[in-house]
Amino acid sequence: MQKYFLNKKLVITLVGLIVSFLLIAFSIMVRNNRNTPTFIQSFGNDAAGLVDRVVGYPVKAVRSAGASTADLLNTYHENQQLKKQVDSVAAEKATNATLRQENADLKKQLKLNKSLTEFSKINAYTISRAPSTWQNQIVISKGSLAGVVKGSAVLSDRGLIGRVTEVNKSNSKVELLSTKNDSSNRFPVQVAAKSGTIINGLITDFDDDTNQLIMGQITSKDKVKKGTKVVTSGLGGTTPKGLLVGTVAKVKNGDAGLPTKIYIDPAADFSDLSMVTVTLRKD
Amino acid sequence: MHSSRIKYLFPLGLFIALFLDGTITQAFAPEMFTPAVAIESRLLLLWLIMAVCYSQAEHILLWAGIAGFFFDLYYTGILGIFVILLPLVVYLTQKTYQFFTGSFIVVLLIYLIDVTLLTLLFYLVNSLIGFTDAGLTTFIARTLGPTLAYNLAMFVILFIPLKSLFEKM
């Protein structure tokens, strides 16, 4: 009898483990290939998202009360700094408008209707974040009903933050750039060298210790100045061109055949995201 | 009467704890995820362990599996990790708790061991499927230590309210 029970427990454990492995394999496959998750996943996610909005409300209220107090204390100092910048902003706006007009005219002359830089926006707020060190994922409040597409680039108010990995009806998951994961879809980016040529590469990794993105797969040997802006190149995939990723922090030249790596200070803060924008390329 | 109240309140509290974990993580992300620390909030586990120790709730193992499934579904998108780990930890707690009486310090130690086990297994699974390349020392310094400290604080704050809640029902 004793032996029988031992066997039964062993069988249950083994079956549990096998089912678990199968589920993991299945969900990674869905995540990498298919456009929408299965019905069960999508239904469960929509239901969970709905409940989460209710549960999250008081916590967010407490947090925003704290944030407003901190804002209030900083306001005077900030105001003085901003005053100095306001004048130059007005001038820049005027220049921008002129340039945009000129750009539109030139495009018309070339009969160029669509370009890589054009995209439409969907604004969403962040409902939740995975309580996990290994998946830097947030859940946002818009899904396929609002037109979010899997693989779209997502921006915060300051710059690129990540990519949509799963779309449900009323919410979707965004994998942040700070995720270090073999299967994540890397962004094609570009940066201007000192000589003026454009260097293309991919965001290949993230450095946890220094909070910097690493740009790899670079073939060019041109020198890059510190502080140069890095933007998405729009090559391949669904990312629009010209989204700000960050600024060059340092360049690590590979000797002995190793490729060059460029370390980038990200423009966006990956831990302070309340509103995000999903971009949809128009072509 | 008493047992019917716990029948509804236990699952309700379970799901509130599940969603509070994510919301707290989102709201306090600037403090909880920095280059030096990464804190994983585990209120869900706290609710389960307190229920094991102080309540007459039934089917805790099953509910742990369901909550684990929703955790995978909603937060990580990788099914099959928490759905196994959470019932495993609860099962071990149930077995261990038979030999103890429910004093504050005993439950605290059990809870800390459970958090350690869950965090460690979660890390191991993730490195197995290629979602992280962090070494064991990085894991202990950046994730395990701060996670234990945070969850210990939460335990101390919530122990008396949860205990009286479960014992009343």
Asked if A195 and A222 count as a contact pair (C-beta separation under 8 A), the reply is: yes
Are A165 and A267 in the same domain? yes
Residue B1 has pLDDT above 80, yes or no: no
Mean pLDDT of A75-100: 85
Give me the pLDDT at residue A36, please.
Answer: 67
What is the domain-level CATH number for residue A252? 2.40.10.350
| Number of independent structural domains in chain A | 2
- The per-residue pLDDT for range B123-137, each reduced to its tens digit, is 999 988 888 888 889
Are A105 and A150 in the same domain? no
Are A17 and A77 in the same domain? yes
Is B138 in CB contact (< 8 Å) with chain A?
A: yes
pTM of this structure: 0.83
Mean pLDDT of A250-271: 82
Structure tokens at A163: 């990519």
Are A84 and A124 in the same domain? no
Provide the residue range defining the domain that includes A140: 119-281
Mean pLDDT of A38-64: 82
pLDDT band at A5 (very low <50, low <70, confident <90, very high): low
Cβ neighbours, 10 Å, residue A169: 15
Is B38 in CB contact (< 8 Å) with chain A?
A: yes
What percent of chain A shows pLDDT beyond 70? Answer: 92
Are A181 and A94 in the same domain? no
Are A153 and A91 in the same domain? no
Are A105 and A167 in the same domain? no
Mean pLDDT of A35-41: 74
Q: What residue spans of A111-234 are helical by DSSP H? A: none
Asked if B72 and B125 count as a contact pair (C-beta separation under 8 A), the reply is: no
Are A54 and A159 in the same domain? no
Are A21 and A71 in the same domain? yes
- The per-residue pLDDT for range A106-131, each reduced to its tens digit, is 888 887 766 777 788 999 988 889 99
pLDDT band at A182 (very low <50, low <70, confident <90, very high): low
Domain end, chosen from A87, A112, A137, is at: A112
Mean pLDDT, all residues of chain B: 90
Domain end, chosen from A112, A139, A171, is at: A112
pLDDT band at A1 (very low <50, low <70, confident <90, very high): low
Are A192 and A75 in the same domain? no
Most confident of A186-190, A263-267, A271-275: A263-267
Domain end, chosen from A112, A130, A150, is at: A112
B29: nearest CB among A55, A129, A208:
A129
Are A153 and A38 in the same domain? no
Are A14 and A92 in the same domain? yes
**A20–B35 C-beta distance less than 8 A:** no
What is d(CA A138, CA A142) in angstroms, rounded to the nearest whole number? Answer: 12
Question: How far A98 CA sits from the closest chain B CA (Å)?
Answer: 39
Mean pLDDT of A146-161: 89
**A211–B80 C-beta distance less than 8 A:** no
**A52–B74 C-beta distance less than 8 A:** yes
**A63–B27 C-beta distance less than 8 A:** yes
What is d(CA A7, CA A232) in angstroms, rounded to the nearest whole number? Answer: 57
B131: nearest CB among A22, A56, A181:
A181
Higher pLDDT, A232 or A42: A232
